[in-house]
A = this chain, B = another copy of it.
């Protein structure tokens, strides 16, 4: 059914604030989930309130706190809260620093779960005329180049850039398939696509259960994807004091914001990024394909006042209000 975005938001906030989170915290988490739904990243949307570890049931150990601060940086201990809340704190803090100093970096450790649709945070920075970079690590599932054992998380990284019109928002995971892709295939009794995962002996497998005991391949099946996964592990894990190459541990995320004022200047940057967009779009497209700019289509959908959500989901969500 079509549901008003505002109504869906109210519903999500009610669920999230019913046990472990304040109204304000629930709104911060709901904002990220709604972005995912509207931007078409729906494995990162309301699904986060379902499953074995729904966001509303994640009870923080304590309130998030800043454990280190300099003119240009902060380290935040997330207190074991749901990822999107910790990440909102990280993004807001880095924007505050970078708006004053031209640059900011914030590391968040002790995050309990995935921070969700990572594009959300760099978009927020780009809307404030900042170049944003966010990297997040997670329990190991991706094999390194040449290896069979998992080492890195699915380790997404995102980049946001302001233009004269929409923000450019590019995000990618380091793996050939998401962990959720395995969970979903297993639940539905489906096979995996070919060449996305290995079993524990290093043989390519299409069996999701065998893949869960084995490892995911890097997105490009080569050393470049493996190298990028490592870069994210270093930035989000080593640099923040979170865990690295782990099964159980602290997830971490790093937020970097750079004002174009430090180099060419904000207006000139936006003119050039817009020129880049126009030049790319003026190119020849493959038959039946479109030349899309990352983030531009989503930006249109983010204005929607209504959204299509399966009736069953709505009913189940309503049942979750305590």
Mark A residues whose CB is within 8 Å of B.
68, 70, 72-73, 75, 101-103, 105, 107, 131, 143-151, 159, 161, 168, 170, 172, 202, 219-220, 222-225, 227-228, 230-231, 233-235, 237-241, 244-245, 254, 256, 258, 260-264, 268-269, 272-273, 275-276, 279-280, 283-287, 289-292, 294
Contact = CB atoms under 8 A, between A and B. Distances in A.
5 contacts: A72-B102, A131-B234, A149-B283, A151-B283, A245-B276
Given A105-B103, A105-B258, A284 B131 contact: no
Contact of A103 (B72, B237, B241, B264): B72
Nearest to A246: B279
A227 B168 CA distance: 10
Is the contact region of chain A dominated by helix, strand, or loop, or is it mixed? Answer: mixed
A224 B220 contact: yes
A173 to B, nearest CB: 9
A197 to B, nearest CB: 14
A234 B295 CA distance: 15
A239 B269 contact: yes
A53 to B, nearest CB: 25
A209 B284 CA distance: 20
Q: Which of A101, A161, A264 has the most CB of B within 10 A?
A: A264
| Number of identical monomers bound together in the oligomeric complex | 2
Nearest to A278: B245
Nearest to A108: B263
A285 B227 contact: no
A70 B102 contact: yes
Contacts of A287: 202
Given A148-B283, A285-B148, A272 B220 contact: no
Contacts of A131: 234-235, 239
Contacts of A235: 131
Contacts of A68: 263
A294 B264 contact: no
Contacts of A148: 283-286
Given A238-B264, A284-B202, A231 B292 contact: no
Nearest to A161: B234
A258 B284 CA distance: 39
A273 B254 CA distance: 15
B73 A102 contact: yes
A233 B291 contact: no
A262 B74 CA distance: 7
B283 A244 contact: no
Contacts of A280: 144, 147, 151, 230, 245
A292 to B, nearest CB: 6
A294 B263 contact: no
A107 B283 contact: no
Given A233-B276, A294-B227, A262 B147 contact: no
Nearest to A239: B263
Given A70-B262, A105-B103, A263-B241, A234 B273 contact: yes
Contacts of A219: 220, 222, 224
